[in-house]
Amino acid sequence: MCADVVTRFAPSPTGFLHIGGARTALFNWLYARGRGGKFLLRIEDTDRARSTPEATQAILDGMAWLGLDHDGDVISQHDMAPRHIEVAHALLEKGAAFKCFATQEEIEAFREAARAEGRSTLYRSPWRDADASSHPDAPFVIRIKAPDAGKTVIRDTVQGDVTIDNAQLDDMILLRSDGSPVYMLAVVVDDHDMGVTHVIRGDDHLNNAARQMMIYHGMGWDVPVWSHIPLIHGDDGKKLSKRHGALGAQEYQVMGYPAAGMRNYLARLGWSHGDDEFFSDAQALEWFDIDGIRKSPAQFDFKKLENICGQHIAAANDAALRHELAAYLEAAGKPALSDAQLNGLEKAMYCLKERAKTLPELIEKGHFVVASRPIEADEKAAKHLDTVSRGILSELTPHLQDVSWERETLEEVLNGFAAAKDTKFGKLAGPLRAALAGRAATPSVFDMMLVLGREETIARLTDAAA
Ligand code: GLU
């Protein structure tokens, strides 16, 4: 246990919770929860033009579906602006930042000259070392004073030590001329103030880390443990696109993937524990560590996702599945099932959950429980209900009247009946499936008979025979 671990997920609310974001959230959640630490949520809504309350809600909903609960209140980065401004002024006091009065034209001229001379166009302001007495009464921005020479080393637990030449750093703006703080400052101040000890995030933020380090150093703050994880690619190794599965987390909910399977699959995207593919939350919490994060990009693979989800459905508790089915229907905007239908599905779950990869597949397998008489046969099933088959069903029905309603007896009766007809049970199965479920693919005939009970079974066979 390491109860002082604090991680955070810091999404920008500019769209839904995409699959890469969900994985980042999961890794931070696993790391903190597995160590008895805290997992915090900060909405990075400093970009007022691009942030929307709908996107924030979509992120919260996606996390709730995935079961990624956070500690404390959701923090709005925008609300912390006064504190960001305070830190910019503190940096100014310490001499780690300075007021820059350069105009837009002057900065452009600097860049043009740099380009012409083949120098770096990263801005270094002539105001870096100016004496306050020389400051004009004019608008200014506050900039960090980038280190003159040397190198910055980012100690990253995934990427190793990443060394950046300080010549690649600019006198980055901290406060704009309207006094508003920039995002790069906000991230550092918030992480520090929230007591974040470990930052796990996409490696598209690695370059930011070097710039953020200037602020940590300027304030004399401890740098958190950084883990920049490789992004997710499609199964062809290319950048993840919609076609590859770059959808919102909730689209997976609507497609009917169970949350536990999704968590398991997302954990495996870029992290591994030996050869383990299928594991429980408890195992993931016990096993998850930065050591297991791979340096190469993970590839999104729908087949694997389905396979893992299927195993989670098979392993799930029946009552839990019942609730998950109801929640799925609501999320997918499908008609709700009645309590009686859900009760039936729960009772039948033992024979449904073995081979369903998604929740809609589970419902389709349970169609025989959900449907009510008269059972309508779909096109495939209807082929099994010709005149001969209907005659057979009507002959069979009396044999079921008085037998004990147990698997063994039912097997004996049906096999005996088939033998008497000089055929195999397999030949009876099609008509029985059609009569009992109206489908050609169903759980076993015996399971359906046991779940439906004698009265309903006989009624359905009689309906079909008529
Ligand atoms: N808001 C950033 C993003 O959504 C994350 C910043 C961070 O984790 O430091 O990509």
Does ligand 1 come within 6 angstroms of the Cβ of 187? yes
Ligand 1, atom 4, lies closest to the CA of 11
Instruction: Give the distance (Å) from ligand 1 centre to CA of residue 50.
Output: 14
d(CA 203, CA 112): 31
Above 70 in pLDDT, residue 150?
yes
* pLDDT tier at 2, thresholds 50, 70, 90: low
Ligand 1, atom 7, lies closest to the CA of 10
Shared fold status for 6-76+233-299 and 79-229: yes
* pLDDT tier at 133, thresholds 50, 70, 90: very high
Q: pLDDT digit string (tens) for 356-368?
A: 999 999 999 999 9
Average pLDDT over residues 432-442: 96
* pLDDT tier at 3, thresholds 50, 70, 90: low
The number of beta carbons lying within 10 Å of the beta carbon of residue 277 is 14
Does ligand 1 come within 6 angstroms of the Cβ of 12? yes
Which among 94, 151, 242, 357 is annotated as catalytic?
Answer: 242
User: What's the pLDDT score for residue 100?
Assistant: 98
User: What's the pLDDT score for residue 65?
Assistant: 95
The CA-based diameter of the chain, rounded to the nearest angstrom, is: 111
Domain 79-229 in CATH 3.40.120.10? The answer is no
Instruction: Give the distance (Å) from ligand 1 centre to CA of residue 458.
Output: 61
Does ligand 1 come within 6 angstroms of the Cβ of 152? no
Q: pLDDT digit string (tens) for 5-37?
A: 999 999 999 988 999 999 999 999 999 999 999
What is the number of the ligand 1 atom nearest to the C-alpha of 204? 10
User: What's the pLDDT score for residue 426?
Assistant: 83
User: What's the pLDDT score for residue 237?
Assistant: 82
Residue from 31, 50, 200, 201 whose mutation best tests the ligand 1 pocket (most atoms within 8 A of CB): 201
379-465: CATH class: mainly alpha
Above 70 in pLDDT, residue 212?
yes
Q: pLDDT digit string (tens) for 240-297?
A: 877 776 788 989 999 999 999 999 999 999 999 999 999 999 999 999 999 999 999 9
* pLDDT tier at 331, thresholds 50, 70, 90: very high
d(CA 203, CA 210): 12
Residue from 19, 28, 31, 44 whose mutation best tests the ligand 1 pocket (most atoms within 8 A of CB): 44
What is the number of the ligand 1 atom nearest to the C-alpha of 44? 1
Query: Phi and psi of 31, rounded to 5°?
Result: -65, -45
Average pLDDT, the chain: 95
295 is catalytic: no
Query: Phi and psi of 441, rounded to 5°?
Result: -110, 120
* pLDDT tier at 224, thresholds 50, 70, 90: very high
Above 70 in pLDDT, residue 329?
yes
Does ligand 1 come within 6 angstroms of the Cβ of 191? no
> What does the domain layout of the chain look like in residue ranges?
6-76+233-299, 79-229, 316-370, 379-465
* pLDDT tier at 379, thresholds 50, 70, 90: very high
Instruction: Give the distance (Å) from ligand 1 centre to CA of residue 380.
Output: 51
Does ligand 1 come within 6 angstroms of the Cβ of 11? yes
Q: pLDDT digit string (tens) for 82-129?
A: 999 999 999 999 999 999 999 999 999 999 999 999 988 999 999 999
Token pair, residue 376, equals 């309508």
What is the number of the ligand 1 atom nearest to the C-alpha of 183? 1
d(CA 385, CA 465): 8
Q: pLDDT digit string (tens) for 53-82?
A: 999 999 999 999 999 999 999 999 999 999
Above 80 in pLDDT, residue 1?
no
Residue from 8, 12, 227 whose mutation best tests the ligand 1 pocket (most atoms within 8 A of CB): 12
Residues 39 and 71 sit within 8 Å (Cβ to Cβ): yes
Does ligand 1 come within 6 angstroms of the Cβ of 10? yes
Does ligand 1 come within 6 angstroms of the Cβ of 14? no
Average pLDDT over residues 289-316: 95
Could you please state the CATH topology (level 3) that the domain comprising 6-76+233-299 is classified under: Rossmann fold (3.40.50)
Average pLDDT over residues 386-411: 95
> What pTM was estimated for this model as a whole?
0.93
Tally of residues, the chain = 466
Q: How far from 303 is each of 288, 312, 352, 384, 415, CA to CA, in Å? A: 23, 14, 20, 32, 38
